Structures are given as C-alpha cells and as structure tokens.
Amino acid sequence: MVELKRKLGFWQAYATATGLVVAGSTMVSLGNGFGSIGPAFIVAAFIAMIISIIIALSYAELSSIMPGPGMIGDYTLVSMGRFMSIVTLLAGYLVLAATVGPMETMTASMAIEYLIPGVNTMFIAVAILVAFLVVNVLGVQIFGSVQLGIVLLLMLSTAVMGVLGLFDVLTVSTSIVPEFNPFGWSTVMQAIALGLWLFIGIEFVIPLGNEVKKPEKTIPKAMIFGLITIFIVDMLFGFALTRHLDLASLAGADTPQIVGAAAMFGDIGGILMAAITVLAATSSINANFAAVPRMFYGLARKGLLPNAFKYIHPKFRTPVFGIVFVFLLFTLPLFVLESNINVIMTLLSAASVTWFFSYIVAQIDVLILRKRYPEITRPFKAPFSPILQIIGIASCVYMM
C-alpha cells in the first residue's frame, strides 16, 4: 500500500493549525464581538483561549498515543467502540465540512464582491475551490508551502493594521476612547461562546501527524503557539476597530472588519481588509482540504468508511478520493444557498454545535483511556488530569 510521507516541519504545522482558525468568518465575529461587548470582549476572548488550550492539550495527548490521521475517530474507536467512532466522525466532522466550507467560500466571494462590484460570486467561489482542490491533490509539500505563505501574510497584515490603528498612524479618522465595559460583566461572560469561535479548529493539524516530523513534539507546540499568536493579533486589530468606529456600527455591520478598516484608513483600508478576509477564508478552505480527507483516510484503513477513502495517489502521495469528496461537500451547497450574512451565521451556528460535540467526546476519550490503559506510553501527557478535561467538557456544554 502507498503510504503518506513525513515532510512537514514546525512552521508548516503551525500554518495548518492556525490556517483553519483564522478564517473569514472569524474576522466577522471578531468585529461583531468588539461591537456587541466593547473593549471588554478581550476578557471573553482570553477565557476562550484558555479553554481552547485545555482542549488542545487533550488532543495532543490523544494524538501522541494514536498518531494516525483518523483523529477523533481513532481515539473514540478504542475508548467507546465502533458505533460511537462513526457517529462522532460523521456528526462532528462530516457535518462540519459541509457547513464550514460553504460558509468560508461565501465569505471570500462577498469580500471579492467588495473589491470588484458586480462580479459573479458563484464563479469566484467555485474557482477558489477548484484551485485548492488542485493544490491539495498535487502534494502535501505544495500544500504546506502555500498554507505557510497565506498564514504569515494574513497574520502580519492584520497585526500591522491593528498597531497602526491603535497609535493613529496613517489613519484618516479621529480616534475615540470607548467605555471598556458598557454592557456589564454578565454580557462579557455570555460572549465567551463567540470568543471561542476565534480559536476553534486548532486541532486540524493532527490528521497530518503522519506527514509531520516529530509529531509528538511539533503538534502540541504548533497548536499552543498558534492559539497565543491568534489572540494577540486579533486583540490588536479588535481594539483598533473600537477606537475608530462606534460600537453600534461595528455590531450591526455585515462585514465589520472591512467597515472598520475603511473607517481607520479610508478606501485603501477597506480594500486591504477585504483582501485579508479573502486570504483568511481561503486559508481555512485550504486547511479543510488537507485535514478532513486524512481523517476519512484513517478511518477507511480501519474499515469504518468505504475503501475508496484510503486510496493514496502513487505519485503525489495524497488521499485523492477524500479530497474530491470534500470538494463536493464544499461546492454543492453553493448552488442551493444564497450568499448573505444570515446564511453564513446559520452555518456558523451549526458548525459550532458539531465542533463542541466532538470536543466533548475528545475530553471523554482522554478520561476513558487514562482509566483503561494507565500503563500505555504517552509521548505527550496533558497536565492536571482529570481537572482540565472536566473543565473542558463543562465549557463546551456551556458554549453549546
């Protein structure tokens, strides 16, 4: 059987981990979060980051025990059996791919429409998906290089705009100082669920474990470093938005990140942020194309999915059937759903619930495997168990 090859280093793993998280939809939720809560949204986002680190530590332990690409399906197969493994994968990640893919593609096409008014958004959306289909079929090294370039450009651009906006450099508007917590701490605590969307999906680097060098060390570092840098970059830009646009306008805008950038830097700011939004959406799409087919590949090798999913192209060493399948999951909804903010937010809500479900199962997997196989070698071991897992489970239930 043709196997996957280890070609990805830390930075490619970091780009994969952050590439799905920093998505077009997170740019929207970041702006709406600061608009709805005020600058105190940083507190909700910080708590959400801590919760995400807790979840990432559990995933890191599980992946160090079973480093295969099946991820949550592999872990649940051992801890809870065949039926729950299939349910978790389909409920968690099949539904997820069918919602996140169209959502990010719509976000990208709407941002492109801002850049080119009147453009055929359906054509643009399908063209984006075809481009990343090709990139991912051609090989993991090409994927890693493309993903690393996109993520570094995305993070650097957003951070620079945030710093310039905070210090009123090159801005066209007069800065304001909004009240830090205008709506009360109960509202801040309710916003933790919105804050978690800024970090959700960091575990998508794990299915590439068979293609990452020294995965037991590289993957935990990539996830935790990714979460911390995402928090810093997002908060810089979010605070800058509140200094140049009133909170009500941020909260009510369909694309608050673009509206806010235009308020800070004029038309050039809006154009640049629209381009960044396209980068963010395409980064998420690219990461999905890489991760989800490898989950299907891992489960197909265990007989939990049809054999077609375990086919590896002999030349490119990529799970071609799974990549094409994900392409169809992303593409078909575009022909029956309208591209607007209401549809995007509905897809976001559906994706959140399925993601939290899979996170709960992962925490339970850690507890079961610690109890059932205490003697097994764990190259990475999550600290403070079972306290962290209990906190993780309770947090996900609260988010749902």
Q: Give me the amino acid identity at 242.
A: T
- How far from chain centre, in Å, is Cα 203? 8
Distance CA 161, CA 316 (A): 38
Both structure tokens of 112 = 């492109």
In this prediction the pTM is 0.83
Burial class (CB in 10 A: 0-12, 13-18, 19+), 340: exposed
pLDDT of residue 2: 47
pLDDT of residue 107: 80
Distance CA 262, CA 103 (A): 23
Contacts 24+ apart (CB under 8 A), 165-173: 165/237, 165/240, 165/241, 165/243, 165/244, 165/264, 165/265, 166/236, 166/239, 166/240, 166/243, 168/243, 170/265, 171/244, 171/264, 171/265, 172/264, 172/265, 172/266, 172/269, 173/244, 173/245, 173/263, 173/264
SS3 8: strand
- Going from the C-alpha of 45 to that of each of 129, 157, 193, 381, the distances in angstroms are 31, 20, 9, 26
pLDDT of residue 4: 47
Distance CA 239, CA 108 (A): 24
Distance CA 386, CA 363 (A): 9
Largest CA distance in the chain: 64
Distance CA 83, CA 303 (A): 12
Distance CA 67, CA 91 (A): 22
Distance CA 255, CA 111 (A): 8
pLDDT tens-digit profile, the chain (400 residues): 444 455 667 887 888 778 778 778 888 889 989 999 999 999 999 999 999 999 999 999 998 888 766 678 889 989 999 888 888 877 777 777 778 778 888 888 878 888 888 888 788 888 888 988 888 888 756 666 666 777 788 888 899 999 999 999 999 988 888 999 999 999 999 899 889 889 988 887 887 766 777 877 888 899 999 999 999 999 999 999 999 999 999 988 878 899 999 999 999 999 999 988 888 887 778 777 877 888 788 778 878 788 898 888 888 888 899 999 989 888 888 887 776 667 777 777 777 888 889 899 999 999 999 999 999 989 899 999 899 999 999 999 988 8
pLDDT of residue 70: 64
Q: Which spans in 214-266 are helix H?
A: 215-244, 247-252, 256-265
In the structure, how many helices (H) and strands (E) does the chain have? 17, 0
Distance CA 67, CA 85 (A): 16
- At the top level of CATH, which class does the domain 10-399 belong to? mainly alpha
pLDDT digits (tens, 9 = 90+) for 286-339: 777 877 888 788 778 878 788 898 888 888 888 899 999 989 888 888 887 776
pLDDT digits (tens, 9 = 90+) for 137-167: 887 566 666 667 777 888 888 999 999 999 9
The answer to whether residues 330 and 103 touch, using CB atoms and an 8 Å cutoff, is: no
Distance CA 244, CA 249 (A): 11
